[in-house]
Amino acid sequence: MENQPARLDRRNTIGIFDSFGQEDSRFVTEKSFLLNSDKQVEGLPKILGVLREHYVDETNQRRLELFFYTNTIEKAKLFEHELKNRSYSVESKTSGHDDELFVITGWTTKMKIEENTLVNWVREMCELGYKYDCEFDGWGTNIKEND
């Protein structure tokens, strides 16, 4: 995707894991999770506008392509397994642009392309990513996919 998430300086954040001494091992801090979640939801109207221009509306269903990053292959594989349990087709691998990052990509099952559905799904992906210490980097879809 063209918009890469802003990377926060994780040394200057305070989160729920600080009290346990685990903040340094976290890839996604509480602060970055909250900022990213808001950013992802705020971007939905623009994405929906582009989809509407291509005649994809709330009556259509599409599979969504998803993107996550994390800092260990173990976290990536655990998260991959969780997403596969949701019947998503996903894979995790080393990022092409940084050997110390791991990317989890794949496709969801079909869902309605309506604002409430997408807001709920985006929030769920951000929260699930945070639970597995993976950062949700966004989503896309194929506008020409048949319903």
For residue range 17-72, what is the model confidence (pLDDT) as tens digits?
Answer: 443 444 458 999 999 999 999 999 999 999 999 999 999 999 999 999 999 999 99
> Among the residues of 14-147, which ranges form H helices?
30-42, 44-53, 73-84, 115-131
For residue range 102-126, what is the model confidence (pLDDT) as tens digits?
Answer: 999 999 999 999 999 999 999 999 9
Q: Which domains does the chain have, with CATH numbers?
A: 27-141 (3.30.70.970)
CA atoms within 13 A on the CB side of 88: 23
